[in-house]
A = this chain, B = another copy of it.
Amino acid sequence: MPNNQFKKGELYSFITGKASTAIARRLQKNFKQANVDITIEQWSVLYHLWKQDGLSQQQLCEATFRDKPSITRLVDNLEKLQLVKRVASKNDRRINMIYLTKEAQELQEQTMELANQTLNEALEGVTNGQIEIAKEVLQQVYDNLAQGNNNSSSSPL
């Protein structure tokens, strides 16, 4: 038990996530200024498809730490915007493979640039060493809590 004596009230920001909210808002604002008309949540799905196109909705759930209904509706909205298309898997007809459209592929460079710019604004005055430690802490928190957290109504445990 290395740390059950920290000042608990001060850690409130870990729960409210003010910093990540602020980053998300700023990124949304930067998208808007650049006339990129997608939400941060939609962008986060595209982000994983840019890394690897043709993921199933289930894989997108795991990648984006969202549950299945959330991904269903994000994919619904991305389809309406003609940024992705669902393709039923030949091998397993339960599975929808999600593919980027040409329009979505063209968004990658611009929006990644905006994301990097946003992170630079956010991390102004923070050293690389501090960033490394913050990342480790956030990863540890995530690992500590990420058991059976995804996928509403599926995992029985």
Contact = CB atoms under 8 A, between A and B. Distances in A.
B134 A138 contact: yes
Nearest to A21: B65
B125 A140 contact: yes
A149 to B, nearest CB: 6
Contacts of A131: 3, 6, 11, 137
Report whether over half of chain A's contact residues are helix, strand or loop; otherwise say mixed: helix
Contacts of A20: 14-17, 20
Interface residues of A, number: 58
A73 interface: no
Interface of A: 2-6, 8, 10-27, 40, 44, 47, 64-65, 115-116, 118-128, 130-131, 133-142, 144-146, 149
B125 A2 contact: yes
Contact of A141 (B10, B65, B126, B144): B126
Contacts of A127: 2-3
Given A15-B40, A131-B3, A140 B126 contact: yes
A46 to B, nearest CB: 12
A15 to B, nearest CB: 5
A23 B125 contact: no
The 3 closest A-B pairs by CB, nearest first: A17-B20, A134-B137, A19-B138
